[in-house]
Structure 1
Amino acid sequence: MSHSITQKSALVVSAHSADFVWRAGGAIALHASQGYQVHIVCLSFGERGESAKLWRLGEMTEEKVKAKRREEAQAAAEILGADIEFFDMGDYPLRADKENLFRLADVYRRIQPHFVLTHSMQDPYNYDHPLASNLAQEARIIAQAEGYRPGEKVVAAPPVYCFEPHQPEQCNWKPDVLLDITSVWDKKYQAIQCMQGQEHLWEYYTRVALQRGVQAKRNIGITEARNITHAEGLQSIFPRVTENLS
């Protein structure tokens, strides 16, 4: 999809087809509602490791699972107001070659994102997640290089935020941004409900949003009187450049 010069954009790099919903659905819906063009890249469908409920149905094949996961992810993206594309790189293990790296760098060039959301840099429970994070960051660097496809518009230096892993303490993940998603929580929960294959996570991520909402409310400025109920935590990788610290 082409993007107008004035329209802001965002890129979400998700290892599996449901990760973007649990961890960044609020951020996606919020920025889409603010006029951002949000583009999601799902590196895999999570067909092997994250589709247990589907496999237990019996008479299931990898292609059938992929088709179901694609359908769920597309429905969720539509609710959140985002575009989505699938690299179909496989999961458990997710592995990237140079071709996939360049393919993602080309997405950066096309989207010209104002910010990027992806996984934590560590996750001892799921090695696909840090690989996705590394791929997102390396593709960003390549997309910034003048010598990569000379003549194309390079990418600036979009901030990269790591969204919340399932067990943050074990992933050395510590939020330094709390995003108020109260206004779009209903949309996020509607998108969560698209993920029929992982129903056990619906209430877990509701509790995460409520917890972060309490923390966000404690941290807003003294003059702000917003009634925050739901939030998402993010960890920034790069320093913020500013002329104003308020």
Structure 2
Amino acid sequence: MPANTALVVSAHSADFVWRAGGAIALHAAKGWEVTVICLSYGERGESAKLWRQPGMTMEKVKAGREAEAKRAAQVLGVHDIQFWDLGDYPINLTNEAFFRLVDVFRAIHPKFMLTHSEKDIYNHDHPAVTAWAQNARITAQAHGHNPHQKVLGAPPVFLFEPHQPEQCDWKPDVLLGIDSVWEKKRAAIECMEGQEHLWEYYTRVALQRGAQAARNSEKKITYGEGYQAVFPHVVETLA
């Protein structure tokens, strides 16, 4: 088992790019093995550009979204990207998939997990995935689940930014500077051709979080990402 692993649970195939691409690229550049699980392709609600093309079918949309996400993952340095095809609007979080995620936790023992905000009035797939993924984390910690396996420790969970945070009761308490990997994130964003209308939006988000990160530190930061921590930070010092 590698020393440093991380897990990103993404409801749809583009979410990990917009919301956590910088964190993924930063850790990958430091040698971390980042696993990304795309539970859905976003084939119904997040592929409008593809559906406007003549002769489009569900299978073509899924194939297109998977190809985009794979290109983005390669740019970011993702170690392993998985597509579980659990449906979209609504996502179908099955019992079988739940224990599959528990198995992933037990297999890679991530040092942290990134996933969605706990509220999102515009996309109920997102908070459903968050509650589900955190339940899987809890099961992976349970000594009575597959007791022959090593139980999961207590990896911190960080919730990435929803599309309209003010409406989702989401407030960042972790600001991550991503200047060193911004070009990678932007390149990954541009891989998501099915949602081209979001490219500039998430560039503006990165600039805003970068400005906040600079304001709250002594560092010169232009681009950033915001996260909300679920659990208290356990530290050795306060400096």
**TM-score normalised by structure 2 residue count:** 0.98
- How many positions carry a matched residue from both structures? 238
1:230 to 210, 223, 231: 223
**Aligned to 1:149, which of 136, 139, 146?**
146
Q: 1:183 matched to which residue of 2?
A: 180
Q: Which amino acid aligns with 1:157?
A: A
Q: Is 1:192–2:189 an aligned residue pair?
A: yes
The one-letter amino acid of 1:131's match is A
Alignment of 1:44 with 2:40, yes or no, is yes
Measure the CA separation in 2 of the matches of 1:111 and 1:198. Answer: 31
- Residue correspondence of structure 1 range 1-246 to structure 2 within 5 A: 3-4=1-2, 7-82=3-78, 83-221=80-218, 226-246=219-239
For each residue in 1:140-192, what CA deviation from the matched residue of structure 2 results, as whole angstroms up to 9, or x when unmatched? 00111111111111110100000000000111000000000000000000000
Shift of residue 123 of structure 1? 0.3
Supply the RMSD in Å over aligned alpha carbons.
0.8
Kindly provide the amino acid, as one letter, of the partner of residue 167 in structure 1: Q
Distance, in Å, in 2 between the alignment partners of 1:217 and 1:124 is 30
* One-letter amino acid matched to 2:175: L
Alpha-carbon separation, structure 1, partners of 2:137 and 2:97: 13
Q: Distance in 1 between matches of 2:87 and 2:94?
A: 12
Gaps of at least 5 residues in structure 2 are none
For 1:129, the aligned partner's letter is H
The CA deviation at 1:38 is 0.4
Distance, in Å, in 2 between the alignment partners of 1:146 and 1:208 is: 41
Structure 1 residue runs without a partner (length 5+): none
Q: State the distance in 2 between where 1:78 and 1:227 align.
A: 28
Give the letter aligned to residue 232 of structure 2: P
Kept in 2: contact 1:95–1:131 (CA 8 A):
no
Q: CA deviation at 1:227?
A: 2.2
